[in-house]
Amino acid sequence: MNMALESYIRAKRKEKEILLMTHIVLGYPSFEDCFKIIETMVGAGVDLMELQIPFSEPIADGPMILKANQVALERGVTVRECLDFAGEVVHSFEIPFLFMTYYNILFKHGVKQFVTDMADNGLRGAIVPDLPPEEAKEYLTAMRSKGLAPIFIFSPATTEKRMRYITSFARGFIYCVARKGVTGAKTTFSDNLTEYLRWCRRVTSLPLATGFGVKEKKDINFLKGKTDIAIVGTQNIRIVEYRGIKALGEFIRSLLE
């Protein structure tokens, strides 16, 4: 079995001040392009990656990722294709890969079967933003049985009591949303964000990952010492769309300089 996700993150953090996790939508612009995008990002130094299985109503996502989901679905991308493709990239690259998707995808596939398929394809965990722990017993039991990490989310609106409750179910890391709302909008990197991340750190011993609005080097610099992982998603899609895959490699390297 691969090293547990949390152990991987802790080992990597001994080498680097902050890790970088990126996000892509599977099947967008195509699976062939997705492979090239992943190859480019891994080559540029990304530490882990979330692979989004397209869904018709991705409620946590802003316009750019929403469009990518819609285009992938219009082209007929299926969950089975996403699972098979994920298996291919897991065996092609050394970094950990996670799935990100919405509960309806798991429900329709069969929760236990989905988790089994994830494990068989070498995924390390999953982010399911619309599945709260209270409704996740089957999912959590299956994830535990396969040694996979269920990633849960904190937001600035999450109370301390709720944070502690969520932490009791989470594995791998906690995804700290930098602000309310959806992905891709502007985030203010300020004292409020610093205090929020400090509070997150107090209530969980798990590594922290911070996303929503992280899109340039100065954002990454701001997050150093406050979080373990910076998450960049929308900006990757924007660069591929407007400047091409080659420019994406240059962008990733610029974040890590």
**Burial of residue 237, with CB atoms counted within 10 A of its CB: 0-12 exposed, 13-18 middle, 19 or more buried:** buried
**Catalytically annotated residue among 6, 15, 33, 61:** 61
Q: What letter would DSSP give residue 95?
A: S
Q: Is 50 a catalytic residue?
A: yes
- Residues forming beta bridges with residue 50, ordered by sequence position: 23, 98
Q: Give exposure, 195-214, as e/b (b: 16+ Cβ within 10 Å).
A: ebbeebbebbebbbbbbbbb
**Catalytically annotated residue among 15, 32, 39, 50:** 50
Cβ-Cβ contacts under 8 Å for 169 (sequence gap 6 or more): 133, 136, 140, 150, 152
In the numeric block, the tokens 């994920």 are attached to: 86
Q: Could you give the residue numbers annotated as active site?
A: 50, 61
